[in-house]
């Protein structure tokens, strides 16, 4: 009869421990993060510290916020679509609706437009060509300006810029001021620089303009406008706002942000920075305006009561 061989339990346990230690060492060598944890949590660095995660119009990206630029204080829950129109339901602003028009809308019946709810208008006063760079009057400006005024529509103006130097931006500002002839405005004068994205994009004189130069041009235009006693504003879409301008250099001026609604997913001005005007449609049909036009919402801050209860309670009269 054979004697059964007992397994060496101690040896098996020792071998298992050796294997586990070897696996742990391999994992730590392969994963630097595990090594940093072993040295303490303070060694772990967040690669996105100080950044915000946002949608830039093409993708979700991490972005470092610009210093000194006020942040958008709207939230999407404050907006609701009623028909094709977004409505602001928050308590921080009063809002009114308005259009921006040019020769493309031809003759506007401003009485009809006013009755349809148009309370303000930005009227194009002129433009610069994007191939040869000439300056042109908008042929419908005078008629639109007077028609809006006659029907109690608040008026601002905009210039379609294709400036590539500060000197050209100043020339554009002087062009605007010369045509206004010191007329009073209710709303700002807007610097409307736009990228050419049609079939002529490759021959546009502005196609290689960089952020710094574009911002220099906007700054020069706005400074000249404000020196003449008017308010200045810069117009941009999401791409220009994030990548085309250094907005930290333009905080002395109003911001007009363009982003059309796309219900039900997008019904609010989704942009990281604060704006004064939101262009929410490029295809609005308004009585009195031929064809499609842009539609905008103007935000007017309401006074906020930030006082504490102690500050609002009447103090008792002093006694002798």
Q: Compute the Cα dihedral for 170, 173, 179, 181 and give only its sign.
A: negative
Give the confidence band of 37 by pLDDT, cuts at 50, 70, 90: low
Separation of alpha carbons 179 and 165, rounded Å: 22
Separation of alpha carbons 214 and 72, rounded Å: 23
Mean pLDDT of 170-174: 98
Q: How many angstroms separate the Cα of 242 from the Cα of each of 58, 168, 247, 255?
A: 12, 24, 8, 13
Q: Does 16 have pLDDT greater than 70?
A: no
Q: Which one is predicted more confidently, 312 or 58?
A: 58
Residue-level pLDDT at 305? 72
The mean of the pLDDT values for the chain is 89
Residue-level pLDDT at 19? 65
Residue-level pLDDT at 44? 84
Q: Does 73 have pLDDT greater than 90?
A: yes
Mean pLDDT of 107-129: 97
Contact 112, 288 (CB under 8 A): yes
CATH topology of domain 73-301: TIM Barrel (3.20.20)
Residue-level pLDDT at 178? 98
Mean pLDDT of 12-28: 65
Q: 200-248 pLDDT, tens per residue?
A: 899 999 999 999 999 999 999 999 999 999 999 999 999 999 999 999 9
Q: Does 122 have pLDDT greater than 80?
A: yes
Residue-level pLDDT at 150? 98
Which ranges in the chain belong to alpha helices (H)? 9-30, 32-38, 110-115, 141-150, 166-180, 211-227, 238-239, 309-312
Separation of alpha carbons 236 and 216, rounded Å: 15
Q: 175-211 pLDDT, tens per residue?
A: 999 999 999 999 999 999 999 988 889 999 999 999 9
Q: Does 112 have pLDDT greater than 70?
A: yes
Tokens representing 120 are: 């303000």
Q: Does 314 have pLDDT greater than 50?
A: no
Q: Is the peptide bond before 264 cis (omega within 30 degrees of 0)?
A: yes
Q: Which one is predicted more confidently, 252 or 197?
A: 252
Residue-level pLDDT at 217? 98
């Amino acid at each position: 009869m054979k004697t059964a061989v007992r397994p060496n339990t101690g040896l098996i346990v020792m071998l298992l421990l050796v294997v586990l230690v070897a696996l742990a060492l391999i994992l730590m060598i392969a994963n630097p993060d595990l090594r940093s944890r072993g040295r303490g949590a303070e060694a772990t660095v967040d690669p996105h510290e100080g950044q915000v995660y946002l949608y830039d119009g093409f993708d979700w990206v991490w972005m470092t916020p610009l210093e000194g630029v006020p942040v958008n204080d709207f939230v999407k829950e404050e907006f609701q679509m009623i028909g094709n129109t977004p409505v602001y339901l928050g308590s921080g602003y009063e809002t009114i609706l308005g259009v921006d028009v040019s020769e493309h809308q031809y003759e506007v019946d401003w009485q009809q437009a006013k009755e349809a709810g148009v309370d303000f208008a930005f009227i194009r006063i002129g433009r610069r060509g994007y191939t040869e760079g000439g300056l042109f009057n908008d042929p419908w400006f005078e008629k639109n300006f007077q028609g809006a005024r006659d029907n109690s529509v608040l008026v601002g103006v905009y210039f379609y810029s294709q400036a590539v130097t500060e000197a050209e931006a100043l020339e554009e500002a002087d062009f605007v001021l010369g045509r206004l002839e010191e007329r009073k405005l209710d709303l700002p004068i807007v610097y409307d620089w736009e990228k050419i994205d049609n079939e002529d994009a490759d021959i546009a004189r502005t196609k290689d303009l960089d952020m710094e130069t574009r911002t220099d041009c906007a700054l020069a235009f706005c400074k000249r406008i404000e020196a003449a006693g008017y308010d200045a504003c810069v117009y941009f879409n999401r791409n220009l706002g994030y990548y085309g301008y250094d907005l930290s250099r333009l905080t002395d001026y109003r911001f007009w942000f363009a982003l059309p609604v796309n219900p039900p997913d997008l019904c609010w001005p989704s942009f990281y920075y604060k704006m004064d005007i939101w262009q929410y449609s490029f295809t609005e049909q308004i009585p009195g305006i031929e064809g499609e036009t842009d539609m905008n919402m103007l935000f007017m801050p309401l006074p906020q009561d930030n006082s504490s209860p102690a500050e609002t309670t009447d103090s008792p009269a002093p006694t002798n």
